[in-house]
């Protein structure tokens, strides 16, 4: 249930940050612009704003929560000014002018809040049942896309670990690895109140559904017919089922790129600035492969083609029947494919991620140290201390830790040592990373220790040897968690 609530919080925060507040502030007063076009325009412009602003602040190490919140408020005020919903009054007396501006701002904010419920979102549903089928399709797609993230804490690709750490470092004002998704998710982390690794875990399902919506938005922009939208979204939703073995990292980057590309097509002819912003975001997302985009983009262009060709040659009732059948059949296929995926690997056991979560919840902040591989770091960052297992093993010797007077030189109360009884298969890691180098010829000790078969197995054996030597002469070592693959040892250091 906690994962489901976290997923809902991520979705809600994403919608508020990129849709609700920007649309309320940026909907042009008195202009002939539909809610659909307003949503596409402000979503793209807000995304471009955060990519540019957070990237710049991150380079200066100033992407701190108060500064990001302040810049977002300034952006909303800018949208209100450009849309005519907020006006500035000129006056010779500064005090009355300030009061007028403040009163105008309060009135406009109240108007924006009150105007949201009056949007007639359900008028189309009363005219046609197709929106209902489309909502059911999106629900099925969300369940299918989020199944792994809801059932697991670890990431299916190394890209998830790097983005989680980058988001941690960005929000802490430290040196980070630039990434488009990280800049877009920084305000989502602040609003949702969740940890960066939790938001990163759920962002891939969110953007997968956003790609389906973007395909539908593009088709609706060029056809104006709901039945073509249903067909396009149905085909885009089931497209990943044919590529079940696709690389997760490449797919995540491609999905984000495809989302903004399709929205760029939807904004063409309505907002040149929004279209250019979408193209720029798609360009800097830099996907390693465009293969995952072929089916979703093709489904959109196919739906546009059949909408142009068969709009007048086939009766509208038959249009709606075909679209409804597509939504139902594709929704059933998606629900039948709901599965959590592998519970372990390819870089970390699921039990290791859950052990980190249990430690961070049950022990005081910064009172404990986790000794493990680097993949546990995103799950404990800023909640406790972390030491690489490679450094721990290289600095300790069995004959030293076996002495009765030996004490680990760490100024914490608790030490947790993660020892893999069955090391994670590093061959799987190499396939997912898609490296072309030979790890046997590299001189990076961490790479040899964590990725090469001999290195990871040797590291686990040496760690187990240290534990056995320490346990012979000390009684402060207990087992915190153990299964067939992993054992987590707990040592009480300071009392």
pLDDT score recorded for residue 434: 41
Percent of the chain clearing pLDDT 90 (strictly above): 53
> For residue 444, how many other CB atoms are within 10 A of its CB?
10
Pairing type for strands 414-420 and 368-372 reads: parallel
Average pLDDT of the segment spanning 409-420? 94
- CB–CB of 371/395 below 8 Å? no
Whole-number Å distance between alpha carbons of 276 and 301: 20
* Whole-structure pTM value: 0.84
Spatial distance between the Cα atoms of 323 and 72, rounded to a whole number of angstroms = 40
More confident residue, 473 or 456: 473
Domain regions of the chain by residue span: 2-13+121-336, 350-492
> pLDDT band at residue 286, thresholds of 50, 70 and 90?
confident
Using DSSP, state whether 237 is helix, strand or coil.
helix
* pLDDT averaged over every residue in the chain: 83
Average pLDDT over residues 134-155: 92
Over the stretch 63-107, which tens digit does the pLDDT of each residue have?
999 999 999 999 999 998 887 655 555 544 545 655 555 566 566
Taking Cα atoms as reference points, which of 210, 209, 202 lies closest to residue 147?
202
Band (60; pLDDT cuts 50, 70, 90): very high
Burial label, 301 (beta-carbon count in 10 A; 0-12, 13-18, 19+) = middle
DSSP secondary structure, 362-376, as one string = HS-TTSEEEEE-GGG
């Amino acid at each position: 249930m906690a994962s489901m609530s976290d997923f809902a919080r991520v979705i809600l925060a994403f919608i508020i940050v990129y849709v609700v507040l920007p649309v309320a502030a940026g909907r042009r007063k008195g202009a002939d612009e539909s809610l659909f076009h307003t949503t596409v325009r402000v979503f793209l412009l807000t995304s471009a704003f955060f990519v540019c602003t957070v990237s710049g602040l991150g380079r200066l190490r100033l992407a701190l929560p108060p500064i990001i919140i302040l810049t977002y408020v300034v952006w909303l005020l800018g949208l209100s000014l450009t849309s005519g919903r907020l006006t500035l009054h000129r006056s010779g007396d500064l005090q009355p002018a300030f009061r007028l501006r403040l009163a105008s701002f309060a009135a406009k904010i109240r108007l924006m809040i009150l105007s949201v419920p009056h949007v007639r979102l359900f008028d189309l549903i009363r005219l046609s049942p197709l929106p209902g089928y489309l909502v059911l399709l999106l629900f099925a797609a969300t369940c299918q896309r989020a199944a792994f993230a809801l059932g697991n804490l670890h990431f299916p690709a190394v890209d998830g670990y790097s983005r989680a750490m980058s988001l941690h470092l960005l929000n802490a004002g430290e040196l980070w690895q630039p990434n488009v998704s990280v800049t877009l998710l920084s305000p989502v982390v602040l609003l949702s109140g969740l940890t960066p690794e939790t938001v990163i875990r759920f962002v891939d399902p969110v953007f997968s559904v956003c790609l389906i919506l973007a395909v539908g938005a593009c088709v609706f922009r060029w056809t104006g017919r709901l039945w073509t939208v249903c067909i396009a979204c149905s085909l885009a939703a089931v497209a990943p089922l044919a590529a079940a073995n696709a690389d997760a990292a490449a797919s995540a980057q491609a999905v984000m790129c495809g989302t903004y590309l399709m929205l760029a097509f939807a904004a063409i002819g309505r907002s040149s600035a929004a279209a250019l912003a979408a193209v720029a975001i798609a360009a800097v997302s830099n996907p390693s492969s465009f293969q995952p985009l072929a089916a979703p983009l093709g489904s959109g262009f196919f739906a546009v083609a059949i909408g142009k060709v068969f709009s007048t040659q086939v009766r509208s009732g038959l249009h709606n029947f075909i679209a409804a059948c597509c939504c139902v059949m594709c929704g059933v296929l998606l629900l039948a494919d709901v599965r959590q995926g592998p519970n372990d690997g390819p870089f970390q056991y699921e039990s290791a991620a859950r052990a980190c979560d249990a430690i961070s919840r049950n022990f005081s902040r910064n009172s404990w140290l986790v000794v493990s591989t680097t993949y546990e770091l995103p799950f404990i960052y800023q909640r406790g201390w972390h030491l690489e297992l490679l450094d721990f093993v290289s600095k300790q010797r069995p004959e030293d830790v076996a002495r009765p007077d030996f004490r680990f030189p760490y100024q914490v109360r608790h030490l947790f040592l993660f020892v893999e009884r069955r090391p994670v298969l590093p061959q799987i890691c190499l396939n997912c990373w898609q490296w072309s180098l030979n790890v046997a010829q590299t001189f990076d000790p961490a790479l040899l220790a964590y990725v090469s078969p001999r290195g990871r197995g040797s590291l686990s054996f040496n760690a187990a040897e240290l534990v056995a030597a320490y346990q012979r002469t000390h009684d402060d070592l207990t087992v915190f968690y153990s299964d067939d693959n992993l054992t987590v040892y707990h040592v009480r250091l300071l009392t």
